[in-house]
Structure 1
C-alpha cells in the first residue's frame, strides 16, 4: 500500500501488558499451590470423577443440566432485565426516513448494503422518493472483479516469496472475501458510480455468493501459481524488469478475462460506469421522473452530497495501540493502486461524540462492529448484559477489548448504519438505533438497538465526514505516514 510494514506501537494510555502480568501474578499469589493429578498433562479420569462429584452436589449445576441440555442457551439465558431496559425508543433520530429495509440474504455484502443505505438518503431526498434502493449487486460485481485483479497483482508482486510465507499464505486463504472496508467502498463509488437497483437487480449468485466464491477461489489460486511459475521462467532469462512485469500482466489479463466470463454468466453484465443509461421512476407524489447519464454522473449528482464519501474517513478504537495515530493494513484493498484502507485510532468517547453530532445534523453513520457478540436477532438487541452465561455456569468472562483482539475472540465482522441515538439528561448516549441489512423479519422491523456499553466493547469503527471529526484527528489523517498492521491482524478483518 505504499508503506513498508511495521508493527503498530502499543498504547501506554489504555493498555499495558505489564499491568496484566502484575494482575495475573497477584491472582496466583492468592491461590493455594497444589500438585496436578496428571503429571504428563493428559486428561485424568480422576479429575473427571472429582468434577462430577462436585457438580452433583451443586444445585445450580443440576438446574442448568435440567434446562440447558434441551434448550438453546442463547434463548434460555437471555436476560429479561436487559430486554426491559432496552426499549426501541430514541430522542434524537434522523428526520428523513428511508425504505425499504434491505436484505443481503446469504452473502457477506453488509458493507455494500451499509454504504448504499447511507448513500440513498441523499438520493431519496433530492428525488422525493418513497421507497428506493441503489444496486448493491452493481458494486458487488465491480468489487469482486477488482479483488480478483488485486490478488493476481499481489501474486506477481510476491512471486519471489515461498508459498508458505505468512503474507502469501494469508492472501491465498480468503482472497476474494465478500466483505470490505469504507475506503474500498469509496474506491468503487469514485470509479464506478452507482445505479438504481432496477437497472442491475439481484441475481441468484449475488444473494447466494458461496458457490461463486468457491469456484473463483479455486480458479484464482491456480492462476496465481501460473503467474508465479511464469515469473520464475522470465527471471531465469535475465530479461529487463519492465519486460518481465509487462509479460506477467499480459498473462494476468488473459486469466482475468476468464474470471470476467464466469462473473457475467452468473451475475449478469453490469452497466458500464462511463456509458449512459436512462432511468424512469415515480416519485412520492406519483409524478414521473427521468434521469439520463452515466453511473458516475448519477453518483456525483445525487449520492455525493452534502458530504462527499471521499471526504469521510474511519475513526477506529483499537486499545492495543497508540491513539491519535494513523494506521493502514498491508496488502488490504480492492482497486489496485487506489485509495488505501486508513484508520485514525482514537478513544471510544471521540467516536461516540462524532456519532451524536452526525445524528443531530441528520446524517446516518456507517460503522463496523462484532455483531455476533452479546446480540439477539429476534429482539434486535445488542447489549453486554443480554445473556446470563456467567450466572448459569458459574464462570467468569472477563476479557478486555484489547485482549479479545489479541486472542482472536473479536474483530470487525459486520457493517451497519446508526440512524438515531437516545441521550440521558446529561447528554450522554444510552442507546443507538441501528439499520441492519438482514430484512424486516428480525429485530424491530429490521432495526436493532445497540446499548452504549455494547458500543464501547464491540464497535471498532465509525466513518465520519471531516466536518464532524475532531480537528486534531483530521490533522492526523492528513498527516499521512501510517503505521502498518500486517495483513493477518484482526483490524484487517472485512465487515
Structure 2
C-alpha cells in the first residue's frame, strides 16, 4: 500500500524550513523576482566572450515565429549559404512555408498509412496511442527534410511567402489533428465492420483530398512553376526565367545532402551502431530516419572540422536547458539552482534520457567555433527565433561544457566520419520504440 505524507513529517518540514535563514531569504527573493534572474551566474555572464577563431556567418537570422519548424529553418539556413554565394547576394531565404506545406500533406498521409498498418492491434495499444497523441506536429528531422526536398524541391521566399498559418501553426494543426483522428476512427470502423483494405484506402484517399483543401486554404497553393529573377549585391540584374521547384534545387543548392548522415550522442545505447525510431517518418515509403550513435567528443570533432573547413553544421539539442535567451548564452552551469534551493540536482545524460528530463527539442545551425590549442571552448549558433530579444542579433554562444550535456545530433557528410564510424553504418539499424526520446525533435514543438 502506498504511504502518504504524515502530519509528523509536515511538522518537521515546516520547522526545518522556518529555522533556516537562507531558505527564508530565498523565499523572499523568489516570491518577488523571476527565478532565472536570481540564479543566473554573474561570473559566467561576465566572462563570456563573443569572439570566435572561426566565424562563417555574414547574414541575418531567420524567424520561425510561432511554429515548430526549426528543423526546416535550420536545413534551409544551411542550404542558403551556397545559394547566396552563387547568386552573389547578401541575404536570401528559401521558402520555409513551401516545404512546410509538403511536410503537412506527406505527414498526414504517413499517419493514415500507419493507422492502416496497425489496424490489427487494439486501439489502446501503446504505439497507436502514441500515434494518436500527436498525428501531425510541426517538428521533424534532417532525413525528413531531405525526403521532402528530394520529392518536392524548393522555391524562393518570393514564390511562396509566409501566411498567418505558417507563422502561427496552432489553429491549423488543431483542425488537421481533428480530421486525422476522425479519419483514423473511420478507417478502423470500416475494417472492424468487415470492410476491405481497398475500401479503407479509398476512404483515406478521399480524406487526403480534403486535407489538401485545408492546407491550401491555410497556407496557399504551392506553385508548380515560378519566375525567378534577382539583383545581386553589385547591383547586377539576373533573370533565370521559369523554373520548377526541383530545378531550383539543382541550380542553387550546393550541399551534397545525399551524402550526409545523422550522427547522435545517446549514451544509453551502444556506440558505432545505427538506430531508427518506429514510425518516425513523413514521406511514406521514403528512406527512414537513421542515426549513427557516437561518443560526444567524436561528434564534437566532426563538427569542429566541418566549421574550420567553412561548412555550417545542422544540429539538434535540448535548447531550453541552462539558456539565457536575451543574452544568447548557454553554459552547463549557467543557473545556480543548488545555491538558491540548497538542494542537489542533476543526473547523468543517459539517465536524463531514460527518466524524461531531457530530449531533443530544437534544431539550429553551428556557424562558428573558438579553438584554443586544438580544442573548442565555445561555439557560435545561428538560431531561427528572429533578432529581437533573442541572442546577439539572433546568434547565440554555447560554452563547450553545454555541448556535452545537451547536444544530441548533427548532420555531416560521410567524408568526415572516422573509419570506426563508417563501419558502424553497415549494420541494420536497431529499431527504438515510437515514443523513444530520440524521436522527440519530430514531434515536440520547440521552445520559441
CA contact (8 A) 2:273 2:427 kept: no
Larger Rg: 1
> Matches of 2:239 and 2:112 in 1, distance apart?
40
In structure 1, the residue matched to 2:245 is 295
Deviation per residue, 1:331-361 (Å, 9 max, x gap):
1100000010000000001100001110011
Q: Which of 147, 154, 166 lines up with 2:107 in the alignment?
A: 147
In structure 2, the residue matched to 1:431 is 378
CA contact (8 A) 1:146 1:334 kept: yes
SS of 1:494 mapped into structure 2: helix
Deviation per residue, 1:389-426 (Å, 9 max, x gap):
001101111201000000111000000000000112x2
1:466 and 2:418 matched:
no
> Matches of 2:135 and 2:423 in 1, distance apart?
33
> Matches of 2:28 and 2:188 in 1, distance apart?
58
In structure 2, the residue matched to 1:257 is 209
> Matches of 1:162 and 1:290 in 2, distance apart?
57
1:74 and 2:36 matched:
yes
In structure 1, the residue matched to 2:437 is 490
> Matches of 1:40 and 1:331 in 2, distance apart?
37
> Matches of 2:217 and 2:87 in 1, distance apart?
33
Q: Give runs of aligned pairs for residues 243-254 of structure 1, distance below 5 A.
A: 244-254=196-206
1:227 and 2:174 matched:
no
1:182 and 2:153 matched:
no
Q: Give runs of aligned pairs for residues 351-362 of structure 1, distance below 5 A.
A: 351-362=299-310
In structure 1, the residue matched to 2:61 is 101
Shift of 1:447: 0.4
Give runs of ≥4 in structure 1 deviating > 6 Å: none
Deviation per residue, 1:416-461 (Å, 9 max, x gap):
000000112x211111000000000111110011111110010010
Shift of 1:46: 2.4
CA contact (8 A) 1:147 1:334 kept: yes
Shift of 1:385: 1.4
User: TM-score, length-normalised on structure 1?
Assistant: 0.87
> Matches of 2:435 and 2:268 in 1, distance apart?
15
> Matches of 2:35 and 2:382 in 1, distance apart?
26
SS of 1:41 mapped into structure 2: coil
1:337 and 2:285 matched:
yes
> Matches of 1:203 and 1:471 in 2, distance apart?
46
Q: Which of 261, 286, 306 lines up with 2:235 in the alignment?
A: 286
Instruction: Please identify, of 56-65 and 355-364, the stretch whose mean Cα deviation from structure 2 is larger.
Output: 56-65
Stretches of structure 2 that go unaligned for 5 or more consecutive residues are 443-448
1:277 and 2:238 matched:
no
> Matches of 1:195 and 1:471 in 2, distance apart?
37
Shift of 1:40: 6.2
In structure 2, the residue matched to 1:238 is none
> Matches of 1:440 and 1:102 in 2, distance apart?
8
SS of 2:262 mapped into structure 1: strand
RMSD, aligned CA? 1.3
Shift of 1:54: 1.6
In structure 2, the residue matched to 1:203 is 163
1:215 and 2:164 matched:
no
Shift of 1:250: 2.2
CA contact (8 A) 1:314 1:342 kept: yes
CA contact (8 A) 1:156 1:231 kept: no
Deviation per residue, 1:84-140 (Å, 9 max, x gap):
23221111122x523x31111100000010011000001001110111111000010
> Matches of 1:233 and 1:55 in 2, distance apart?
62
In structure 2, the residue matched to 1:415 is 363
> Matches of 2:153 and 2:421 in 1, distance apart?
28
Shift of 1:476: 2.0
Q: Which of 424, 447, 459 lines up with 2:395 in the alignment?
A: 447
Shift of 1:481: 1.0
Shift of 1:234: 4.2
1:391 and 2:339 matched:
yes
1:405 and 2:353 matched:
yes
